[in-house]
A and B are shown apart, each in its own frame.
Chain A
Amino acid sequence: MILGSINPAVLMAALMVAATPILLAAIGELVVEKSGVLNLGVEGMMIMGACIGFIVAVNTGSPLIGFAGAALGGMALALLFALLTQALMTNQVASGLALTLFGLGLTALLGQQYVGITPPRTPRLDLGPLAEIPFFGRAFFRHDIVVYLSILLVGAVWWFLKYSRAGMILRAVGENHDAAHALGYSVKRVRLLAIVFGGACAGLGGAYLSLIRVPQWTEGMTVGAGWIALALVVFASWRPWRALAGAYLFGGVVVLQLNLQAAGVRIPVEYLSMSPYLITILVLVIISSGKGRGSLNAPGSLNRPFHASS
């Protein structure tokens, strides 16, 4: 009865929008982890992107320049992480946490004059006749450009990891950094590039939240999206298309939950809004139960520091 009042095409469209921020962050983190680095600072880089993207977009009036700024903001924090973990050999878990705490604080400071402002609207991509197709037009072809870019990015990352030479080097570094080093590849340079790419993606994901999905800036507005993106990478078993499926599944849960709230189901809002986190945990449990590190498909050198001894 309640579900009946929800238009499936609208639901699908909302689902894609809800999934895009975590999809962007997750696909970036996937590449980072494929290179053997665990960056737990996704939440920090996302909020940085959300904040910088918002500030740039408001000041320039252009959401696209905002997104570029967001990517740079995420990259700046990622560089800091790379400096710590690759050059100074710090613990990756602790450094990632530091990144998140620092990012949350810094953005609260930077963004305080921007609370309550509406950002410039991001236009819908005009797909002409495609948008007029019944059902499919409403569901798939009336989005902003970033939604399509995120899907393209998944495809590009899939191709890059599977078929390109650089992608294979990256995977080699992630699976066994000692062997890759012995073959003459620069482990640290590959990891540095991967980390920076991850930062750019997380920044874009954050900006999607503040510029399109919400669209507004509030302190700590990512509320765990970065952590959910990290969980998504595990859920995807480090495979790009599975990350896409996972993100959309997750988007579906979020949208359904919001619709139930709006429909006035007799469950308090607080309990409904914890469902995305609970479902993420549940999915993590299902994926990791009864399997070892190997069958999970985790990169072999994940979270192991590399220091060339000679």
Chain B
Amino acid sequence: MIRLEKRKQPSRFWRIANPFLAVALTMLAGGVMFAALGKDPLVAIRLIFFDPIFSETFASYSRPQLLIKSAPLILIAVGLAIGFKAGIWNIGAEGQYIIGALFGAGVALAFFPQPGWYIFPLMVIAGAFGGFLWAMIPAILKTRFNTNEILVSLLLVYVAERILAAMALGLMRNPDQPGFPGSRDLRRYEAAHNAELFANTGIHWGVVAALIAVIFAYVMMTRHMLGFHVQLAGQAPRAARFGGVSPTRLVVICLGISGALAGLAGMFEVSGPGGQVRIEFASGYGFTAIIVAFLGRLNPLGIVFAGLLLGLTYIGGELSQMMLQIPGAAIQVFQGMLLFFLLALDFQTNYRIRLTKGARA
């Protein structure tokens, strides 16, 4: 009979190999799904994973899009991964992303139409602060009242979505176009515009911030005491407590960092690619970033690749919608399947399959 045997040490090989295997399996299962939708699976998979980068016709548009979509995913996922490592589950990044965007846009709209070099840096600070503040709600409720941070952070996403709608329809609505919901277009306000830094590359300040965050997180997790504490708390919470790691401090730090990074991502989005505060502004980056964090093995460098891959599925999804009329939701299913396969495959990391002969003694 078949049985699982726990490995003494998690297998390093499978830890690295599983994400690739999961992507391959997802492509396979995705192909079946596309076939069920009546589309040619090979064409669909090529359209999603290959054409956005290599096709002559689409690449000029979609190549810059890759960084635009991936940057917020990476920025958010890097922060989430630190918390996940410590066993602190911030799953409300979507809400922190929204509030960060509102804080950033709020600063911009307050200064409108003044010019000034200091406006954009102020928006950056406000965005990070907004996300931080929103993440502090579950953090403080957790540390003060022992309230479950998973539920609170998630429920706050719905609250943030309602605040976003209220702002788009009320306080932040463009006074020059009162008939339309939505704020002024920040792309037309030079001092607040998060413009492309190099033409046709898609690189804006958010991409730079994501890069800095990755390096910062990598150094922190591998070289700094705090990173060690995070790992310790995740793997052996009791040992961590005896070792003098304060759980309260860790909760505040982990939620604070991930909230601030999510807020930054929202701010860079609203002042650049998104352009304005609209009801439909939030596009699920905060949730997809959870998949990115896991697919990247909670490792900052892994997250870069995972973020690029998931960013690619967004662009490829749009492309396949345009070319093959594949519904947009198919990409969501795709992303969900990816996480499933990854989690399922991971049993190989911790367990070994043993075939034993005969019945049990």
Binding site for B on A (CB under 8 A): 40, 80, 83-84, 88-91, 93-95, 97-98, 101-106, 108-109, 112, 219, 223-224, 227-228, 230-231, 234, 268, 270-271, 273-274, 277-278, 280-281, 284-285, 288-292, 307, 309
Contacts and interface: CB of A to CB of B under 8 A. Distances in A.
Contacts of B165: 270
Contact of B163 (A223, A230, A231, A274): A274
Residue in B165, B170, B290, B343 with the greatest tally of chain A CB atoms within 10 Å: B343
Interface string B134-172: 000000010011111011101111110011011001100
B350 interface: yes
Given A274-B162, A289-B145, A102 B337 contact: yes
B287 interface: yes
Query: Can you list the 7 inter-chain pairs with the closest CB atoms, starting with the nearest?
Result: A105-B332, A102-B336, A108-B329, A270-B166, A289-B145, A105-B333, A88-B347
Nearest to B170: A268
Contacts of A273: 162
Given A91-B343, A268-B166, A274 B147 contact: no
B347 A274 contact: no
Nearest to B351: A89
Given A270-B162, A271-B166, A288 B330 contact: no
Nearest to B343: A90
A108 B332 contact: yes
B190 interface: no
A108 B344 CA distance: 24
Residue in B155, B170, B340 with the greatest tally of chain A CB atoms within 10 Å: B155
Contacts of A278: 159
A254 to B, nearest CB: 13
Interface in B90-144: 91, 141, 144
Contacts of B141: 281, 284-285
B276 interface: no
15 contacts: A88-B347, A93-B89, A97-B91, A101-B287, A101-B336, A105-B329, A105-B335, A106-B333, A270-B166, A271-B166, A274-B162, A281-B151, A284-B151, A284-B152, A307-B6
B349 to A, nearest CB: 10
A151 B130 CA distance: 43
What is the predominant secondary structure among interface residues of chain A facing chain B? Answer: helix
B162 A227 contact: no
Given A89-B347, A228-B155, A284 B147 contact: yes
B4 interface: yes
B155 A88 contact: no
A153 to B, nearest CB: 23
Contacts of A288: 145-148
Residue in A98, A106, A288, A290 with the greatest tally of chain B CB atoms within 10 Å: A98
What is the predominant secondary structure among interface residues of chain B facing chain A? Answer: helix
A7 B343 CA distance: 51
A274 B158 contact: yes
A84 B152 contact: no
Interface of B: 4, 6, 89, 91, 141, 144-148, 150-152, 154-159, 162-163, 165-166, 169-170, 287, 290-291, 294, 327-337, 339-340, 343-344, 346-347, 350-351
A84 B333 contact: no
A278 B4 CA distance: 44
A101 B291 contact: yes
Given A80-B340, A97-B339, A274-B159, 12 more contacts: A40-B150, A90-B346, A101-B290, A105-B330, A106-B332, A108-B329, A230-B151, A231-B151, A270-B166, A271-B166, A281-B155, A288-B147
A40 B148 CA distance: 12
Contacts of A109: 327, 329-330, 332-333
A29 B245 CA distance: 34
Contacts of A289: 144-147
Contacts of B158: 223-224, 274, 277
Contacts of B159: 274, 277-278
Nearest to B347: A88
Contacts of B291: 101
Contacts of B347: 88-90
B333 A277 contact: no
A97 to B, nearest CB: 6
A112 to B, nearest CB: 6
Contact of B155 (A94, A227, A291): A227
Nearest to B328: A108
Contacts of A291: 146
Nearest to B339: A98
Contact of A231 (B155, B157, B162, B166): B155
Contact of B343 (A95, A219, A290): A95
A309 B170 CA distance: 60
A110 to B, nearest CB: 9
A289 B144 CA distance: 8
Residue in A80, A84, A274 with the greatest tally of chain B CB atoms within 10 Å: A274
A224 B327 CA distance: 23
A84 B344 contact: yes
Given A84-B343, A89-B4, A281-B152, A268 B169 contact: yes
A94 B335 contact: no
A177 B87 CA distance: 22
Nearest to B287: A101
